[in-house]
Amino acid sequence: MKDFRGKLAVITGGGTGMGRALAQQLSAEGCHVAMCDVLSENMVETKRLCEADAPAGVRVTTHPCDVSKEAEMIAFRDAVVAHHETDHINLLFNNAGIGGGGSILNDDREEWERTFGVCWYGVYYGTRVFLPLLVASQEGYIVNTSSVNGFWACLGPDTAHTAYSTAKFAVKGFTEALVVELRVNAPHVKAAVVMPGHIGTSIVINSSKVLGKGEAMDMSAKDVARMRDQLVKRGLPVADVEDDQIRAMIQQFGIIFRDHAPTTATQAAQVILDGVRNDKWRILVGEDAKVLDRMVRESPEDAYEKSFMEALQATGHLRMGG
C-alpha cells in the first residue's frame, strides 16, 4: 500500500500521541480517518489539527469508545460504516494503550485487568470487529501496537511491569500469527506489529485518567505510599518526602516522559507509515527499541539482570527506566 489517498483508516486511541500523529499524517495525505478514544475531549483537538491540513473532501470522524468493551467496539464499527457510507476500510491501527497494574502481587486486580483489557482486548476486539471490512477491501493492512515490552517484560530489574508486558507479548504473538493466517486466507490483507521504545506521548498522564484516578495531584494516600516504595527501590532518596511532593514528582515525570523522549510521536508515526508503504510486518520504532531488541536476542538469559540494565543504559538508552 504505497498511497493512502482516498483510503479509509480506523485508529484507536486517536486522541493523543501516536494515534493523533497517525491521524494527522494520514489525513494530510488525503486519507479519510475514523478515530476513537475513551477521552473524547482529546479527539476534538486531533480533529481540528487534521482538518487544518487535510485536502478538501477528506472526512475525519471521532467516536467515543472504550476499546476493552466489545459492545462499544461493535458500535464504533457501525458508526464508521454509517458516517463514512462504506462497506470496507483499508487500514486498521489498533493503537490504544494505557499503563498500570505493574505488580500482580501488590496492585489492585481491577487496575491490572483494566490495563490488560485495554492493551490486549482492545487489539483483539478491534481485529475481530473490523476484519470483515478489511477483507471486503481490495487491499488492507492491520497495524497492531505492541512495545519493546512485547519482548522485554520489565522496566528494569527492580520494577514490576506485568499487566502491560503480558498484554504486549500477546499483541506481538497474535500479530505474527495473523501474518501467516492472512497469507493463507486473505492475502490482500497484511498485518504488522509495531514495537516502539520511549516515544513522547501522554500515556503516563492519560493512564491515570483512564484508570479513574484523575490527575497525578489527585493520587490517593495509598497510591502515593506505593509509588514512594517503588521510587525508594529505584534508589531515590524519597522515603521521608511529603505526599504532595511525591504527587508533584509523578506529575513532572509524565511531562518529562512526553516532552523529552528520544523519539517524538510525529517521528514514530512516520516510521510506522513508512513500514506500511514498504510491506513490513515488524516495525521497531526508535533507536532504543533497535538496541534493546538486539541485546535481548543476544543475551536472553541476562535480560532481567542488573548487569543487563547497566549495559543498556551505557548505550545511552532508557535512562529514565521506561
- How far CA 30 is from CA of 56, 83, 111, 268, 279, in Å, comes to 8, 17, 39, 19, 20
**Spatial contact of 122 and 94, defined as CB atoms under 8 Å apart:** yes
For the question of residue 164 being annotated catalytic, the response is yes
Report the run of H or E that residue 288 belongs to, with start and end: helix 287-298
What nine digits make up the cell of 23? 491521524
Fill in the DSSP letter of residue 316.
T
Helices 162-185/109-116 angle, 10° precision = 30
**Spatial contact of 227 and 238, defined as CB atoms under 8 Å apart:** no
The residue type found at 178 is L
Place of cell 493520587: 219
- Please list, in sequence order, all residues whose beta carbon lies within 8 angstroms of the beta carbon of residue 239, skipping any fewer than 6 positions away: 228, 232
**CA pseudo-torsion sign 62, 67, 71, 74:** positive
Selected catalytic residue, list 124, 141, 164, 304? 164
Active site residue ranges:
164
